């Protein structure tokens, strides 16, 4: 910019910043789409792993989990997950107050991860609990468990300050979702007849092909980066 007038140089910098913001927004939207495709994959795995007669109940369960997680994360979770004060949890952006464009962009992406984590957790108790348990479980995971993990690992939390690196949400999505699901499964217990020796109680996967298709759907590595520039530098 040394060959331009100060006014032209400032204009070029503004245009460059705007272009950078647009590219980062597009990148986050692409990651949002990829994570939601992974959510579809998880749903297919669930459907293929339960009794065929319960497919409609599981679809309704996923709708309930996604809805409760969205409302809870918007009201409570996003505020707790942003800019962790003292390395613990955030203290702003509750109930959508004072959101700017960047906040909304980050929110929809974090929300997709939150829904995925809640679906992983609730999948472990499929066919064994009533809808109100799914509602409670979704509220806890989206309102407290996932936001705290997000704040600690990604948003200036104490784990990030210690140098902890969570690549692709391996910890805040898969490990924490799996641990929450394990606790839920231990509390609820196995399906009735799951471990009986009689042949009529043997467990048979309903849709093995659909389960495998769902496994192939699950991939979202790019979204572990904060922006498109970071991905470009690592290529």
Tell me the three state secondary structure of residue 89.
Answer: strand
Task: Assign residue 97 a region (left: φ > 0; alpha: ψ between -120 and 50; beta: otherwise).
Answer: beta
- Decide if 173 contacts 117 (C-beta within 8 A): yes
Q: Enter the pTM of the model.
A: 0.77
Query: Could you read off the pLDDT of 135-177 as tens digits, one per residue?
Result: 999 999 999 999 988 888 888 888 888 888 887 778 888 899 9
Q: What residue ranges define each of the domains in the chain, with the CATH number in brackets?
A: 6-234 (1.10.3430.10)
Q: Is 191 exposed, middle or buried (0-12, 13-18, 19+ CB in 10 A)?
A: middle
For residue 129, pLDDT beyond 90 = no
Comparing 43-47, 75-79, 119-123, 125-129, which segment has the lowest mean pLDDT? 43-47
- Return mean pLDDT, the chain: 77
For residue 29, pLDDT beyond 90 = no
Rounded distance between C-alpha atoms, residue 210 and residue 215, angstroms:
9
The pLDDT value recorded for residue 196 is 65
């Amino acid at each position: 910019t040394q060959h331009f007038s100060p006014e032209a140089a400032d204009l070029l910098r503004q245009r460059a910043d705007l272009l950078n913001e647009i590219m980062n927004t597009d990148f986050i939207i692409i990651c949002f789409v990829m994570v939601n495709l992974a959510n579809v994959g998880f749903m297919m795995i669930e459907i293929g792993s339960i009794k065929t007669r319960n497919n409609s109940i599981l679809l309704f369960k996923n709708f309930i989990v996604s809805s409760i997680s969205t409302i809870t994360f918007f009201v409570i979770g996003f505020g707790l997950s942003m800019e962790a004060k003292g390395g613990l949890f955030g203290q702003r952006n509750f109930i959508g107050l004072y959101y700017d464009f960047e906040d909304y962009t980050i929110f929809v992406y974090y929300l997709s991860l939150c829904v995925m984590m809640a679906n992983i957790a609730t999948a472990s108790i499929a066919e064994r609990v009533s809808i109100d348990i799914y509602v409670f479980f979704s509220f806890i995971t989206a309102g407290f468990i996932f936001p705290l993990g997000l704040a600690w690992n990604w948003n200036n939390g104490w784990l990030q300050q210690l140098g902890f690196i969570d690549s692709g949400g391996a910890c805040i999505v898969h490990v924490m979702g799996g641990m929450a699901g394990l606790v839920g499964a231990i509390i609820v217990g196995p399906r009735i007849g799951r471990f009986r020796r009689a042949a009529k109680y043997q467990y048979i996967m309903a849709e093995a092909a659909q389960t495998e298709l769902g496994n192939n759907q699950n991939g979202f590595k790019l979204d572990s980066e904060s922006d498109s520039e970071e991905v470009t530098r690592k290529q």
